[in-house]
């Protein structure tokens, strides 16, 4: 069984119709709000180690989490602090995963040229002069897998951890079936 490590979960939600970012910035210690540079407020949490982006529209993006549990904890923590500051918000918003980035190791070096030819140019991009990895697009689940000669891989575009598991199993099976992986 191949070990998969979730590196980043990006999720979004809405805390309501409108947020007063200026007053939130004053109330949240360490918040960064420079509307001339970026339209949102950036708040970094130490535990779990995530970054929360808050927008005037009420939209919230959480990035840097290693699990859905960390996403929920981060958003709840910030929502609670904002509510204490006197803003009217939704405390239990519906959270939607936008992207999961995960890594794995096939535990064997692989020949990316042979893989590019075998998997077909309709599914892969491999330009070693531009980028050292082979980019493979899967249809089901709809994710992108970056393969490296070392056998390490990165999966991005997944919406749930099970998609990562399926993608890694699929690519492993395909490489083994073509005799390109021990």
Q: What percent of the chain has pLDDT over 70?
A: 99
Per-residue pLDDT of 11-42, as tens digits, reads 999 999 899 999 999 999 999 999 999 999 99
Rounded-to-integer distance, Cα 103 and Cα 70, Å: 18
- pLDDT value of position 130: 96
Please compute the mean of the pLDDT values over residues 98-120 and round it to a whole number.
95
Position 182 confidence tier, pLDDT thresholds 50, 70, 90: confident
Largest CA distance in the chain: 62
Q: What percent of the chain has pLDDT over 90?
A: 93
Position 99 confidence tier, pLDDT thresholds 50, 70, 90: very high
Which among 24, 31, 64 has a CA at the least distance from the CA of 48? Answer: 64
User: How far, CA to CA in Å, does 142 sit from each of 123, 147, 156, 164?
Assistant: 12, 16, 9, 10
Please compute the mean of the pLDDT values over residues 81-108 and round it to a whole number.
94
- Cβ partners under 8 Å of residue 119, min gap 6: 136, 174
Q: Where are the alpha helices (DSSP H) in 85-179?
A: 112-119, 161-177
Position 1 confidence tier, pLDDT thresholds 50, 70, 90: low
Mean pLDDT over all residues of the chain? 95
- pLDDT value of position 96: 97
Q: Is residue 2 pLDDT above 90, yes or no? A: no
Rounded-to-integer distance, Cα 175 and Cα 67, Å: 29
- pLDDT value of position 70: 98
According to DSSP, the residues that pair with 155 across neighbouring strands are 102, 145
Please compute the mean of the pLDDT values over residues 52-57 and round it to a whole number.
98
Which among 79, 45, 34 has a CA at the least distance from the CA of 59? Answer: 79
- pLDDT value of position 128: 96
All domains of the chain in start order, with CATH: 10-97 (3.30.310.10), 106-177 (3.30.310.10)
């Amino acid at each position: 069984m191949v070990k998969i490590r979730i590196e980043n979960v990006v999720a979004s939600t809405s805390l309501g119709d409108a947020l007063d970012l200026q007053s939130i910035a004053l109330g949240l210690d360490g918040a960064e709000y420079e509307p001339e540079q970026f339209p949102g407020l950036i708040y970094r949490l130490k535990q779990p180690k995530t970054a929360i982006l808050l927008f005037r529209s009420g939209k919230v993006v959480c990035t840097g989490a290693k699990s859905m549990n960390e996403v929920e904890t981060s958003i709840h923590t910030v929502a609670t602090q904002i509510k204490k500051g006197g803003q009217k918000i939704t405390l239990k918003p519906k959270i939607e995963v936008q992207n999961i980035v995960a890594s794995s190791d096939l535990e064997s070096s692989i020949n990316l040229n042979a893989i590019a030819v075998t998997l077909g140019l309709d599914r892969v991009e491999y330009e070693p002069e531009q980028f050292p990895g082979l980019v493979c697009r899967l249809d089901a689940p709809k994710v992108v897998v970056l393969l490296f000669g070392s056998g390490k891989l990165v999966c991005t575009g997944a919406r749930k951890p099970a998609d990562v598991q399926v993608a890694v199993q699929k690519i492993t099976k395909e490489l083994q079936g073509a005799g390109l992986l021990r």
